[in-house]
Every structure is written in C-alpha cells, then in structure tokens.
Chain A
Amino acid sequence: MNKKIQFTLNGKSVSREAATHRLLLDLLRDEIGATGTKEGCGTGDCGACTVFLNGQPVNSCLVLSGELDGADVVTIEGLKIGPELHPIQKTFLQDGGAQCGYCTPGMLMMSKALLDENPNPTEDDIRYALSGNLCRCTGYAKIIQAVQDAAAILRAKSA
C-alpha cells in the first residue's frame, strides 16, 4: 500500500509517495539517493544505519516509511554544522576513527547522540553507548578516543 508522506530530511522538506512497508533505510538509499546511511544487517543488530528520528538515534532499518509523515530525520549528510565539520567528524579524521568507513556514519550519529545527552562521558559511558554499533576494522580504540576528544572540544566551546 502506498501512502503520501511528508517529512523533513536534514532540514529540507521531502514529500513523496512511498510504500508504507518500505524501510526508512531503503527509502533513503534507493529512492532518495542518500547513501551515506549504510546497510550492514537490515535487522537492527549492527547500527550502521543509525539516523536521528525526531531527535532520537534509531536503526533506520527498523523504521517503516508509513510512520514518517511529519517526522524530522537527520542523517550523516546532515551532520555538518553549515559548511563546518561537526567536532566528532573532525576527531574521527584526526584520531583515525574510520578505516573502511562503512560503520562510520552510524558510529558518528550514535556518538553525537551520546554527546548531546552527556557532554562529559567516561570511557565506559562511550563503550556502552557504542556497543550496538559494530566495527570490524578498527578494534574500537581509536573510535573511543575520537569521542573523548570531541567531548573535550564541545566542552571547551560551551565553556
């Protein structure tokens, strides 16, 4: 069944006809062409497809298009602040948080969710927050480092 939906994607209004059972993930990737959000499992186990839905981090492979009418969606393509990289993007660059890069968009979105909620996370806080985001390349150490460094930058800014 198709349904007309209107939602906000990275600050811009999107309106389209979509099958209600179409996953947000597939809608983004195959229909809208926003392939920054990655598909790693399609079953909510790996976190690669993490996006913000109404301000909350979700696995976009577990969200149906039918639920999207009126929603606010932010993806990796909307993480920059204007032309500037978000601090978490900067520290991923600097610390080597990305290798193959496939888990990276999801990692960044989940890291931002953590930092939005907790500007001063401990290492354990970071490990727990990212425990649903799988990475096969880095061994996580550099990712944890990048989140710590981004937290420091954000704290310095708000001080």
Chain B
Amino acid sequence: MAELTVVGKPVQRVDAEEKITGQAVYGYDLVLPNMLYGKTLFSTKAHAKIKRINTDKAKQLPGVVAVVTGEAVPWTHGESVKDKPFLAQGKVRFIGEPVAAVAAEDEDIAQAAVKLIEVDYEDLPVYTDPEEACKPGCIEIHEGFAKYRKAEFVVQGAMPNVAEHFKLRTGNVEQGFQESDLVLEERYFVPIIQHAAMEPHSAHAQFDKESGRLTIWVANDAPFRALHEITEALGMPKEKIRFINPLQGGGFGSKGGLKVEPIAVALAFHTNGRPVRVKFNREETFISTLTRHEAVVYSKSGVKKDGTLMAREMTIYWGAGAYAEKSPTVCIRGSLPAPGPYRIPHVKVDGYAVYTNKPVAGSYRGYGIPQGAWAGEQQMDEIAKRLGMDPVDIRMKNIFVEGDTSYWGEQLHAVGLKETLVKATEAIDWGKKPSNVRPGVKIGKGFACIQKPTRSPTTSAAGVVVNAKGEVTVLAGTVEIGQGCNTILSQVAAEELKVPMEKVHMHQLDTDVIPFDASTTSSRSTYHMGNAVRRASIHAREQIMEAASPMLEAGVKDLDYADGKVFLKDQPQQALPIGEVVRRKLGINGEVRGDGSYTYEIGKDLDIETGHSDHASAFYMYATQAAEVAVDEDSGRVRVLRMSAAHDVGKAINPLNCVAQIEGGVVMGIGSALHEEMVIDKSGKVRNPSFLDYHLATSLDIPELISIVVECAEPEGPYGAKGLGEPGLAPTPAAIGNAVADATGVRVYDLPLKPENVYWAIQNKKKKTAA
C-alpha cells in the first residue's frame, strides 16, 4: 500500500468550527416557517385499560389546530416486533406512554390544551421486576403478542411476557461443573440508566396533501430504518416519505427507532399542510424515550485448580420495558458473548427479554456487553481470589487469542485482546501494592476485559462527487452524532483522492438524495461506511483517470495519481488537476460521481437452538480497562483515582478521535458504575427524571484518564480499521467493581456502587466476620 497521507493522522474535527461559534443547527433548534407547536399527553398509569378519552375541551381552546388520539392513528411500529402504537390504543403499558397530542399556534396553548384532555383508566397489575414478570400466573402485558408482526429471528419464550428467549448451548455444562475443582454461583444486577444525550428529543413533520409527501426533520441516528418503519406502519410508498437529519446533539443509542417521530407524524396529518414541531423536555425525555436494559444476571462458573475455565452457565433477565424495541437483538447480541472473551469448553446461556411496565429499553452504547461483563468479569476475579491466583494470570490462561474457536463456534481473527490486557494493567502499575492514604480509606486496583460484536450483516452505500473546481462532496448516510464520523469519512475520501481535507465536504443527510445506510449504531460506521466511501472515492478516481487518458494522450496504465492530480508515470510534470479533468470533460458545472457500497455477508445465521454461528459478526472489538480506586469505608464513597483504557481499534484512522471516543466512553462508564440509576417505584413511576436527581458524571468526578490505542488490523476493514464507539464504557463498571473488592475485600453485586450500597456491603461483612 502506498504511504497514507491523511488516514492515521491526528486531524482536527471538520465540524468543530460551526459548533464553537453557535452556528450549528440541531434538530432541537429547528424553527420552520408557519410551524405549529406540538405537545403530548403522557400516560399517568403504568398498566391500565383506557376506558374513555375526552378531547372536546381541548379542541375548543382557541389556537388549537389539532388534537389526536390513538383512534385517529391506528398504526403500530417496532424494529423486531410491531408492538408499539403511535399513540396508546385501548390500554397503556408504562407511565410516560404517549396517549394523545395537540398541535397549536404556540407552546403555551398546546400545553394548556393537553391539560384539558380527560382520560379514564381502569388499573391492571403492574410489573416492575423482569424476574417476576415472567413467572407463571402473570398476565400478559401484550395479550396479542402471538399475532404481532415480527422479525424471523424473534423466539417467543414459553413463560409470560418473554419477548425473546436466546439460547446458547456448547458442550455439557453439568459435566463441566463435575470436572471442576471449584464452582461459584452468584446473582448480579445492573439497573436502568439513560443515555442522557445533552440534546433532548424532538421531531418536526409536515404532510403535503397535494403531493402526498410526508417530510420528517429529526436527529435520528438511523434515518433509513426510521423511513422503513414509517413506510411499513402507514402503508405509504417509500418515495412519498423523506427524512432530513439536522445535526444531532449526542445519541448513544437513544435516537434510533421511533419515539417523538410518530407523534409528529400523527399530528401532521391533521394540520392542513402546516409543519408541526414536537419537542420533549428533559423530564419527558427521561420518562418517554429510551433507557438501557436493567439486567439480572445469574452466573455459575466451574474452574480447575490451575485456573482453567471448564464451564460457565448464565441466565440473564433483560428488562425490556413496556415495548420490545431492540430488546430481541440486545438479548441475542448481549447474551451471546456474556460468558466473556475466554476459551470455555462447556457453556450454557439463556437470555430472556421480559416485558415490564417501565419505560422502554432500547439500544444503548455497548448493546448488552456492560451487563454481561459486570457479572462475568467480577466472577473471574472471585475465582482468582479463591484459587490464590493473580487476576491477570487467570485471564492470560483462558483469554481468546488469534485462531481460537469461540464457544459459539467461530474461528476468531484479529484478536488484540492480550495486548490490551497487558497495556491497560501496566498503565496503572499492576502488581504494585498501593499505599493507603489515610485510616479508613482503602486503595485498590481492578480491571476487566471485553469482546464486542457488531450488528451483522449490514450494508452501507456512499457517493463521492468531484466537481470542476476539484471540490469533493461525500454523500454518506452515517449520522454525525458527535462521534466524529464526518471527520473520519472526509479523511477516507481525502486519502483516496489525495486532496487536502479542506477540499472535502459532507452532504447533509437527506434520504431523498443520500444512498442507503443501515444505521449509525453498533460501532459499525468506520468499518462499513469507511469501506463504502473508500470504494466510491476509488470509483471516482478511476473515472477521472479514464477521462484524463485522452487529454494526456496516454493509456490509463501509463497514468498515475497523486496530490489531486493525474500525471504521466514517466513525465510527472505532465499533470492535470482532477477539477481540470472534470471541467474539460463535462464543462464548468460538470461532476464526476463515484459510487461504492459495502455489505458484510454473514457466514450463517445464529442457530436458534444452539446460538452457534461460524461468523456472527463482521468484526470484534476488544478492550481492557483498569481502575485504581479509593474507598472511604466510613461513608462507602468510591473515588476513581485513575483509569486506563486500552482498546483494539484495528487501525486508528484518526488517533485524536480515538482518544476522544475512549475518554468519553470511560467517563460515561464511570457514571454508570458509581451513581447513575433511574429510580422507578413499584407503581412504575420514575422518581428522578431530572439532571438534579439523576447524577451524570461532572467535571469533578473524573479521574486521571490513560487512553491506549491498540492496532490489531482487521483485514476486511478500511486500512485495517474496526470500530470503537461502544466499548469505551463496557468494561468500566466491572473494572471499578473489581478495584473496590480489591480495596475492601468486599464484593458488591448490584450497580451502581453508590455509597450506601458499598457501605452496607462493608458493614454486612464486618457483622459476618464478628459472628
């Protein structure tokens, strides 16, 4: 390969300037001409029949243009299970479910009208615990589940309220436990948390009766999937629906699928062609959009005296909330690698996605990996402790290395895990016993390893346009959610066309003109869209060389390409800039467009009975993070002193951006480890739907961060790249949990590691020791 000129370099973000001057326009900022203001009435009951809705008073309020309820919009949607109505129909399943909506001349009128809508409910039993909601005798939250349209891979459970049952079967775990010298079994718990992207959710919609076109402006991280879902729900032809993506103020998984969109669409059909904006405020965003799955994880491990893992059995109850959303795939892709990145001969996993009467759980950065790691990685340390082994040594004995066959039957390649383990632990001086700072404060160290698959199979397509001025425009459906894709993809185009970064521009995301992309999720974009943009750029370059051939009076094979110019191999001074080639061939307004697409073809779908696949993921991301913590035993307060994070990214297309992703992920992970928790009471009500009561990590909470980029090239990836967005927070809580156990000698099984949880764990141990 020729030397890389832009790829691999610490290039500054291409979108930073508009962001630091306040010029960037986000979805939440958008004000459309003649726009109406939408407000939503949310369910105040977690599980109830709707006996009556009266909208008369609301409709009569001056300034109100439309009031809609589920009756007016008899449609349902959902990625794998079509279970969610646009607005509640006949019953409500969580507090925060949209029941009715109003469009009015201003926000105050809309809000006043919402308050005038009367709803009579008849209460039904409320289930807030996923482990309880699937016990025999529970009533079905979705009584019509069997009749819903669903994706082929969805396997309904035999118990009540189970939307998905994932099974992994390898070897014989009973035999494995019998052959083990030590068997450990524990229950772990991960609570509901929220993405809390700084930009709350909103959507704008307009329906033009004359053309029959529906336009939706929304910061959605998978506009093509949203388009597909709306198309399916409404039975409208795809060409009639258009998604335009303004800039997105963070997502972390929360902004895919449909949340505010159905409300805006429902209203848009009743506003005589006027656009309507529906904004959720922060509290509405907390209760009505998406959360991360709570998970109850039972983990049982069998191991030989020398530390060889023999068997692992895991049962995971994923709390889906009131609608399936992405629960089936979170259950599948979170449960599959939950036993950890280790060679284990006997493995049994049962994952259940269970409906509850809580806000809907969906995709969240990490897609099920943090929950499995919280259990599996802490149990690894417990095993090491019982065997008197160093936690590093037990992992080194069992860890996946190049060429290993995983317990789901896939031969692994590009495995940089060992290097991440060595580097992350070295970075915090593993093995050096830290000295305690003062009486009552204990210092400890811990780490955790993860492996994360990506959504497969998927497709990304891209266009790359070169104009007569030599400017390059990239048409890519990857959404800039803050992760830096516009910079990465510009680098790829600049690399292949050998032009300076300033010459490359990203086209706004508009489904009318941008080629298809599966989604900006699952850390898939650099790999998939990176490949697509690379191919499209090469395609454009080839056409330009073709066109230049008669101009330079030479065959294409006698031409070369560098610095944005085509030239004769043996006479490099005979050169034509690419813009000049385009102009001569097509005129001053001419454009050459290259197209490229990339599809990862899966080997075999996961087998429904065994969970096996010879190629379950386009690539795997590996990481190890290590923490040093201080625990105040008198208060239970945990402080992270320093945190190293070593991530195998395949190839760092932009090292600055890699560090940015790692640091952001780690701090999000620290929040989820130490204080984040959506507190939901037995009635299904969220008790802390504000940033005052829901504690995000602040500038005061961050430790010394040590980011380490490991490059174990993935041959199929662009320049060897894999992905990075999600793993940043995946091992963090388990690493901190292990450090807390190292410091105090006490294991805490339930997240978050808030002072009272840690304090009582310490006190209980003291009591036991005294007795």
Contacts and interface: CB of A to CB of B under 8 A. Distances in A.
Interface in B694-736: 696-700, 702, 705
B702 A93 contact: no
Contact of A126 (B18, B28, B252, B699): B699
A35 B22 CA distance: 7
A112 to B, nearest CB: 12
Contacts of A73: none
A82 interface: no
B457 interface: no
Contact of A33 (B31, B199, B660, B692): B31
Interface string B600-633: 0000000000000000000000000000000000
A41 interface: yes
Contacts of A134: 198, 691, 696, 698
Contacts of B13: 93, 96, 98-99
B16 interface: yes
Interface string A128-141: 10111111111111
B690 A77 contact: no
Contacts of A13: none
B49 interface: no
B345 interface: no
A135 B699 CA distance: 9
B25 interface: yes
Given A102-B199, A136-B198, A43 B691 contact: yes
Given A98-B19, A137-B250, A139-B666, A40 B199 contact: yes
Contact of A140 (B31, B251, B699): B699
B689 to A, nearest CB: 10
Q: What is the interface residue range for chain B against chain A?
A: 35 or more
Interface in B1-58: 12-13, 15-26, 28-29, 31
B579 to A, nearest CB: 28
Contact of A144 (B17, B26, B699): B699
A103 interface: yes
Contacts of A85: 20-21
Interface in A18-70: 19, 26, 29-30, 33-43, 45-46, 48
A85 B685 CA distance: 46
Given A40-B198, A76-B21, A100-B249, A93 B691 contact: no
A89 B21 CA distance: 8
B526 interface: no
Given A39-B28, A94-B12, A99 B482 contact: yes
A101 B19 contact: yes
Contact of A36 (B15, B23, B484, B667): B23
B531 interface: no
A75 interface: yes
Interface in B647-705: 656-657, 660, 663-668, 690-692, 696-700, 702, 705
Contacts of A115: none
A98 B482 CA distance: 8
Interface string B560-592: 000000000000000000000000000000000
A142 B663 contact: yes
B60 interface: no
A96 B656 contact: yes
B199 A43 contact: no
B708 to A, nearest CB: 14
A96 B20 CA distance: 11
B281 interface: yes
B304 interface: no
B483 interface: yes
Given A36-B23, A41-B282, A136 B29 contact: no
Nearest to B248: A100
A142 B484 CA distance: 15
A126 B692 CA distance: 21
Given A85-B21, A128-B700, A136 B196 contact: yes
B481 interface: yes
B641 interface: no
Contacts of B108: 19
Interface in B194-208: 195-200
Contacts of A139: 663-668, 697, 702, 705
A136 B197 contact: yes
Nearest to B705: A141
Contacts of A35: 22, 25-26, 29, 31
Highest count of chain A CB atoms <10 Å: which of B22, B668, B692 = B22
A8 B657 CA distance: 39
Given A35-B29, A45-B691, A127-B699, A99 B664 contact: yes
Interface string B451-481: 0000000000000000000000000000001
A30 B31 contact: yes
B667 A41 contact: no
Given A36-B22, A101-B19, A137-B250, A42 B699 contact: no
A69 B21 CA distance: 26
Contact of B700 (A76, A80, A131, A137): A131
Q: Give 10 closest A-B pairs by Cβ, nearest first.
A: A36-B22, A100-B482, A102-B249, A101-B19, A139-B667, A76-B22, A45-B691, A35-B29, A139-B663, A99-B482
Given A98-B16, A101-B16, 10 more contacts: A35-B29, A89-B20, A98-B20, A99-B250, A99-B484, A100-B197, A130-B698, A136-B196, A140-B698, A143-B699
Interface of B: 12-13, 15-26, 28-29, 31, 107-108, 195-200, 247-252, 281-282, 481-484, 656-657, 660, 663-668, 690-692, 696-700, 702, 705
22 contacts: A29-B29, A35-B25, A35-B26, A35-B31, A40-B691, A41-B282, A41-B691, A46-B282, A75-B22, A96-B657, A98-B20, A99-B484, A100-B197, A100-B249, A101-B18, A101-B19, A102-B198, A102-B250, A134-B198, A136-B250, A138-B667, A139-B667
